[in-house]
Amino acid sequence: MIHIPPDWVLATTHIASEYVSRQFLALIGRWPNAIPPLELDFVMLMACSKLAGTLADAYWNPVTINLDVARYADVLHMVEKGINPALEDSLLARYPPEAQIHLDRATVVCDKFGMIIFWYLPGTIDLPVQNDMVAATAKMSVPLARSVMRGAATNDNWRTHSSNFYPSQSKGTPGCINLSPAWFLQGHPVPKFHPQVLATLKEFNGQSFSQAMYRLAALIAAALRVMHPKLYWSSLATKLALWLWAADKKLDEMGDHLREWALVFTALTIMCNRHSLLHRDPLSCPQWFDVMTTFSNYGVASMKMPNLGIEIAYPAGCMVGRSE
């Protein structure tokens, strides 16, 4: 059992995840109903209860695709990163999906061997929690605006190139930034590179942002606890190990940010009004999970995954967990 210091924001996150996990197991018929923890406020408690219900709905609505995700991931590791439409067309011709699936209700997608590779949870995030994130994102309007690049679009800068952003319908600032109390670049081994607090978190009221997003962070952690328990516990252990490392190196600023960070993940990306192109990041594996959420007020949106033959409705308040 991992002990989380009680003065960490992550301690409340862990309480929420424990409640959601137990209530999820109760809803699918394996445990008695969970007792609501007194440490959670009313908004957080209602949000956790709704999340547990949506996770259970998805669990009982599986969709199977004829794909061996582990072997497919091995093929993807041999191709280049970034954007290459011709390569994507070639892979699609080599591994065509058997059917085109449109999802608009809570669902889990499994590969041919029953491995869950995708959790689709629409309507999971209530308006009060979405409003928290609108307020938190407003605190990051300066770095969001600075993140947008102009000039020639390349295979490396598409994530922040101006051609992929649209004006906001809710007065948000278009942009794309990363936040992390202990950022570590993939492919940069020690001792030449060590974790560091990203400038966006240090320079632009990072503590206030962390406080504003704690409810959503707790929901993301709780969802991960159900979707991928091993990754959840591994992430907690990593956070504590990073804090001990920072204390040993006398990196007080990193230690402070880790105590204030409510996410089990060590990094968060905020994308405001961005069109994400079909792309790949090769330094991943199918055993890892990302969690994505949406918030605010916008029109019809969708997410397409041509290689899986899946398209989902992607309204505000949606949560998606997917294998990388």
* 27-73 confidence digits (pLDDT tens): 998 788 899 999 999 999 999 999 999 999 999 999 998 877 777 76
Distances (CA, A) of 281 to 79, 80, 155, 320, 322: 10, 9, 12, 18, 14
* pLDDT < 70: residue spans in the chain: 1, 73-84, 153-156, 158, 170, 185-193, 205, 277-286, 324
DSSP for 294-319, please give it. --S--S--EEEETTTTEEEE--TT-E
Task: Tell me the three state secondary structure of residue 189.
Answer: coil
DSSP symbol at 78: T
Q: What percent of the chain has pLDDT over 70?
A: 86
* 303-316 confidence digits (pLDDT tens): 888 878 899 999 88
Contact predicate 313/302, CB 8 Å: yes
pTM above 0.75, yes or no: yes
- Which sign does the torsion angle of CA 73, 56, 35, 32 carry? negative
